[in-house]
Amino acid sequence: MNYQMVLKEVILKFNLAIKLITYLLFTISITVFAKININTATKTEFEKLPNIGPKKAERIIKYRLEHGDFKRIEDLVKIKGIGKKTLEKLRPHITLEMTKMESNKDCNPEGKININLAEIDEFSIMPGIGPAKKKRIIEYREKYGFFKTKEELMNVKGIGEKIYEKINIFITVKIDLNTVEIDKLRKLNSINQEFVNTINLYRNNGKKITRKRLNNLLKKFKGMDKMKYFWWTKN
């Protein structure tokens, strides 16, 4: 009788040990083999990659902001400090997926803070954003030009996923050209001022900026194609 009880206890502990080992192996496999998307990864995520320290991570982010999404993983070698050998070490840890910009119907910017246009004090209403973080947002924007997506706000020091989740509903990068203050629009980094003048002229003449009209303007004015993901219109 005692022998049977001991055997049952051994079998029970053995089964528990197998379940624990299976769980640990599964957790480790996720940690080790999960790849990061180089079109959405934050500076902190890049720093975890082999041979990528803070400086190289910053260069990758800067390149992405200036040139848009990476089209090929091989484009990483265009970044200073990343050669073919480093790229081969990175391959097992990275992937490439194009970013999905906010769809036009789901991103009405009305009532939200535009992180590319807002003055420093406008960030005060957002939870978790104090004086230091507000200053860093402005400094980051001045350094890199503008935020292409809301998620890029997590590249700012001190703003991680938890804070982003809290402020996500308050922010946008979309701009309604029919309602935005013209003076604010002029301050948007890299914007073509002739484009702004034309928008202002349309509005002064009572004309709406429709999707068709906007597309024609983006083609007409130099450099505006890289800002095509900013604009929002109802039709």
In order, the DSSP letters of 54-100 are HHHHHHHHHHHHHH-S-S-GGGGGGSTT--HHHHHHHGGGEE-----
Please state which of the ranges 2-11, 63-72, 124-133, 217-226 shows the lowest mean pLDDT: 2-11
For a pLDDT cut of 90, what percent of the chain falls above it?
Answer: 25
Residue 160 lies in a domain: yes
Q: What digits encode the pLDDT tens for the residues 166-178?
A: 888 888 888 889 9
Residue 12 lies in a domain: no
For residue 106, name the pLDDT band (cuts at 50, 70, 90).
very low
Cβ-based neighbours of 211, under 8 Å, separated by 6 or more: 104, 233, 235
Please, what is the average pLDDT of the chain? 81
Q: Take residue 172 and report the two structure tokens written for it.
A: 């946008």
Q: Which of 137, 153, 172 represents a domain boundary (last residue)?
A: 172
pLDDT at 102: 42
Beta strands in the chain (DSSP E): 36-37, 94-95, 113-114, 171-172, 175-176, 231-232
Segments forming the whole domain that contains residue 227: 175-232
Same domain, 166 and 182: no
Q: What digits encode the pLDDT tens for the residues 187-197?
A: 888 899 999 99
Model's pTM, two decimal places? 0.55
Bridge partner list, 175: 231
Same domain, 138 and 189: no
Residue 133 lies in a domain: yes
Residue 180 lies in a domain: yes
Residue 37 phi, psi (nearest 5): -85, 115
Report the CATH number at residue 165: 1.10.150.320
Q: What is the domain count for the chain?
A: 3
Q: What digits encode the pLDDT tens for the residues 67-104?
A: 767 888 999 999 999 999 999 999 999 988 765 444 44
Higher pLDDT, 32 or 191: 191
Same domain, 203 and 155: no
Q: What digits encode the pLDDT tens for the residues 204-217?
A: 999 999 988 998 99
Residue 5 lies in a domain: no
Look at the block and give the residue holding tokens 């935020």: 147
Residue 26 lies in a domain: no
Higher pLDDT, 43 or 140: 140
Residue 18 lies in a domain: no
Q: What digits encode the pLDDT tens for the residues 51-71?
A: 998 889 888 877 876 676 788
Is pLDDT above 50 for 152? yes
pLDDT at 235: 64
pLDDT at 159: 92
Higher pLDDT, 8 or 146: 146
